[in-house]
């Protein structure tokens, strides 16, 4: 209802005699309808009116007693009806995070990807609205075991494992440790229509408790992304990567195919620490990206000339077939040696990374399902 429809409030109301507020349009009984039975509703309506009208109200005294009818709440008196403050149309102290979440909740529900800046930079309001829509982070973690059980029962052949710290753990008893998910449809699609090439990468979560999302993404015949497995761990370290890779090996051990994993981008970041500078970085990628043995030897000779320790470092990375293109297995039919495409998948998750973990997992499932369905329809056409 517009401000003109409500009409100005007349400050001659006696709550012990008059039955309702007096307004210019008494037929609607606007305030009488809204102030019945609910004290919080009265407060919300007063706050809405003040913010829309561009002024602020300070409550000097509040009582928990209703009017003689036992159900009606009302304002007994208002002092200084003519306000002289300015600037409250833009920045009103009555605009709280609770009020903003209540008013804008439906807009956020219709479009969960609204950025924080578009919500008047009320970050905490956005978090409260997201909590009302998606549930709290603590509740989400508590529901993960049931979620894994539901995935296994409704999608036979899927892998869903959730791990918690032991009950006798000194620092964190019975706290979330990790969860691994891979749906049967993704596994079948990987084995039937994708190259024997897997990229893995991690992305930090933006929720209240942090965490890291580890993803495994393959490339199909059109070199398009095909995510098929993901896990959430508390932090990124060697043990958690071993946990993820161990599950991947168990997932693909009966496929009858040799699989190539790529972690070269992480190696490139680690290279910068012992060998800083643009020259060493350029020579590193020249050795990794060459298609001929002759060019590879030239790059290695230059590396040895600049810093002989670089060759020792590269020998510890692993077999040359895992990091330099001229040694790649031709049966894989893929010359990618970076994990950029996995980062592209992480970028598609958008705001899901800031939501509770269960909402994040459902967002990944939904995104993957839509991706597979869209490509199936395109191939049929």
240 and 371 in a single domain? The answer is yes
- Domain residues for the domain of 83 are 3-95
Sequence-distant (6+) residues with CB within 8 A of 102 are 44
pLDDT tens track for 96-116: 767 776 776 666 666 666 654
Residue 23, pLDDT > 50, answer no
Confirm whether 281 is domain-assigned.
yes
172: helix, strand or coil: coil
Q: Cα separation of 194 and 222, whole Å?
A: 9
Confidence of residue 1 (pLDDT cuts 50, 70, 90): very low
Domain end residue (candidates: 95, 113, 129): 95
Confirm whether 122 is domain-assigned.
no
190 and 289 in a single domain? The answer is no
Residue linked to tokens 């990944």: 364
Q: Cα separation of 35 and 67, whole Å?
A: 11
Residue 131: the pLDDT is 57
50 and 163 in a single domain? The answer is no
362 and 239 in a single domain? The answer is yes
Confirm whether 56 is domain-assigned.
yes
Domain end residue (candidates: 95, 130, 151): 95
Domain end residue (candidates: 317, 332, 347): 332
Confirm whether 298 is domain-assigned.
yes
| Bridge pairing between strands 260-262 and 194-204 | parallel
- What residues form DSSP beta bridges with 262? 199
pLDDT tens track for 37-51: 567 777 787 888 777
148 and 255 in a single domain? The answer is yes
What pTM was estimated for this model as a whole?
0.61
24 and 62 in a single domain? The answer is yes
193 and 319 in a single domain? The answer is no
Residue 10: the pLDDT is 43
314 and 373 in a single domain? The answer is no
Confirm whether 61 is domain-assigned.
yes
Q: Cα separation of 319 and 237, whole Å?
A: 22
Confidence of residue 7 (pLDDT cuts 50, 70, 90): very low
Confirm whether 160 is domain-assigned.
yes
Total of domains in the chain: 3
231 and 346 in a single domain? The answer is yes
253 and 270 in a single domain? The answer is no
pLDDT tens track for 308-323: 998 888 888 777 877 7
Confidence of residue 192 (pLDDT cuts 50, 70, 90): confident
Tokens of 192: 């039937």
Confirm whether 112 is domain-assigned.
no
Confirm whether 119 is domain-assigned.
no
pLDDT tens track for 180-189: 999 999 999 9
Q: Cα separation of 86 and 54, whole Å?
A: 8
67 and 179 in a single domain? The answer is no
156 and 240 in a single domain? The answer is yes
What is 119-136 written as a DSSP string? GTT-HHHHHHHHHHHH--
Confidence of residue 263 (pLDDT cuts 50, 70, 90): low
């Amino acid at each position: 209802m517009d401000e003109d429809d409500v009409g100005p409030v007349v400050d001659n109301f006696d709550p012990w005699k008059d039955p309702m507020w007096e307004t210019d349009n008494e037929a609607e009984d606007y305030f009488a309808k809204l102030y019945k039975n609910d004290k919080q509703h009265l407060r919300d309506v007063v706050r809405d009116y003040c913010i829309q009208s561009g002024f602020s109200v300070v409550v000097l005294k509040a009582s928990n007693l209703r009017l003689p009818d036992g159900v009606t709440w009302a304002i007994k008196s208002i002092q200084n009806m003519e306000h002289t403050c300015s600037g409250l149309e833009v920045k009103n102290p009555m605009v709280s995070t609770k009020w903003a979440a209540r008013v804008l909740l439906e807009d956020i529900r219709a479009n969960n990807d609204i950025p924080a800046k578009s919500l008047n930079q009320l970050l905490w309001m956005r978090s409260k609205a997201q909590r009302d829509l998606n549930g709290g982070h603590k509740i989400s973690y508590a529901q993960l075991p049931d979620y894994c059980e539901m995935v296994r029962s409704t999608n036979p052949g899927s892998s869903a494992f959730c791990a918690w710290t032991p009950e006798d753990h000194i620092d964190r008893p019975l706290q979330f440790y990790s969860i691994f998910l891979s749906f049967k449809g993704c596994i079948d699609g990987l084995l039937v229509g994708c190259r024997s090439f897997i990229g893995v990468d991690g992305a930090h979560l933006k929720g209240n408790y942090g965490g890291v999302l580890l993803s495994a993404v393959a490339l199909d015949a059109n070199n398009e992304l095909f995510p098929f497995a993901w896990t959430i761990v508390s932090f990124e370290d060697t043990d958690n990567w071993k946990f993820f890779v161990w599950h991947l090996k168990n997932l693909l051990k009966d496929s009858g195919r040799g699989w190539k994993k790529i972690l070269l981008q992480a190696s490139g970041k680690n290279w910068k620490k012992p060998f800083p500078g643009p020259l060493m970085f350029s020579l590193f990628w020249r050795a990794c990206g060459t298609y001929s043995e002759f060019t590879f030897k030239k790059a290695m000779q230059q590396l040895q000339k600049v810093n002989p320790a670089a060759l020792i470092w590269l020998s510890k990375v692993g077999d040359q077939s895992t990091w330099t293109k001229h040694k790649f297995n031709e049966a894989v039919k893929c010359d990618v040696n970076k994990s950029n495409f996995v980062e592209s998948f992480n970028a598609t998750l958008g705001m899901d990374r800031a939501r509770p973990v269960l909402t994040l997992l459902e967002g990944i499932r939904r995104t993957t399902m839509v991706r597979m369905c869209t490509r199936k329809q395109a191939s049929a056409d």
